[in-house]
Amino acid sequence: MVLLLQYTLTFASVLILVALGGCFSEHSGVINLGLEGVMIMGALGGALAMRYMPTNSTPIAMLLVVLLAAALVGLIYSSLLAVACINFKADQTIVGTALNMLGLAGATVIVKAINTAANPDDVSSTIQFAGAKRSFLVNIGSFEFSWFMLVTLILLIVSYVLLYKTRFGLRLMACGEHPQAANSVGISVYKMRWAGVLISGVLGGLGGIVFITAGVSEWRFEYGVAGFGFLSLAVMIFGQWKPTRIALAALLFGMFRALSNVYTGFDFLRVLNIPSQVYNMMPYIISLVVLAFTSKKSRAPKAEGIPYDKGQR
């Protein structure tokens, strides 16, 4: 049971971070379907930081540098979406899909090139971080607490306050609901949309590094992030684009994902003799079922996915 709780909170942390990123982007009026690619690139930034940080670094220094690297790479990568969709008014679905493919291929090529440069016989896309990962963990009895869980909780609270209690958040949501009306009162729609997309890049990058460090000590980047970017979008929709509901939805989906790691520890599940692949599929099946029954009642920001034209009324 402790292990189930541990993995549930870990995977829920990933889903919360990435879904909040999508929430900020869509509240500004831009659909970020490239979150999968952003996660991969953020994971790459964090993994390289763990690889090259001195082994004698303090845990707090390691944590801060890894978080900063993942967030910075995610921000830079998401700026490609912002340029294409906000400035050039490209189709947001196509650009997001392209970023997902580019992120997976780019991260794989970069890691292989780094490994080959260090050792010509090593052509893998794997980065190991067993030693560095210990800096993020604290054992509380049999529960392995990760500092990423605390970071996620803090960012969840900050996101709620930022969206609903600040002028910035209200302006951001206005640009996703009626950008022409927002512009008429002096709000720069382009700046707000850029801010929304860049924030989604930061949160998506953080989600990526949390994902690849969940339960393993190395990551093969050609595996990507197992569809967690799209699963996070499902969590965002199920959570109605609201941070508190997103957190609850993430806990539900995270629990089903955690079962694939710990089902052998439950006698009644082990007796059922269900293949492990079924447990791996469960969060995605649940997302399809949930969205099938709830999507009709979902109310997305009215102007999401629509390029902003200053002259349009």
For 288-304, write each residue's pLDDT tens digit: 888 888 777 788 899 99
Helix intervals (H) in the chain: 2-28, 35-52, 59-82, 92-118, 130-133, 147-164, 167-177, 179-184, 189-212, 228-238, 243-262, 267-272, 276-294
Closest CA to 312 of 222, 226, 184: 184
- Domain, as residue range, for 93: 2-226
pLDDT at residue 188, as a whole number:
95
- 27 domain-assigned: yes
- 306 domain-assigned: no
Closest CA to 206 of 6, 9, 21, 7: 21
pLDDT band at 308 (very low <50, low <70, confident <90, very high): confident
Decide: helix, strand or coil at residue 93.
helix
Tell me the mean pLDDT in the region 155-163.
97
Average pLDDT, the chain: 92
- Using the CB atoms, write b or e for 246-281: b if 16+ within 10 Å: bbebbbbbbbbbbbbbbbeeeeeeeeeeeeeeebee
State which H helix or E strand residue 138 sits in. strand 137-140
Decide: helix, strand or coil at residue 47.
helix
How far, in Å, CA of 230 to CA of 22, rounded? 10
- 241 domain-assigned: no
Contact (Cβ atoms closer than 8 angstroms) between residue 15 and residue 230: no
Residue type, 256: F
List, for residues 99-123, the tens digit of each pLDDT value: 999 999 999 999 999 999 999 988 8
- 266 domain-assigned: no
How far, in Å, CA of 210 to CA of 265, rounded? 24
- 273 domain-assigned: no
- 262 domain-assigned: no
- 156 domain-assigned: yes
Query: Which one has a higher pLDDT value, 3 or 17?
Result: 17
List, for residues 202-234, the tens digit of each pLDDT value: 999 999 999 999 878 899 999 999 899 999 999
- 274 domain-assigned: no
Counting the structural domains of the chain, the total is 1
pLDDT at residue 18, as a whole number:
98
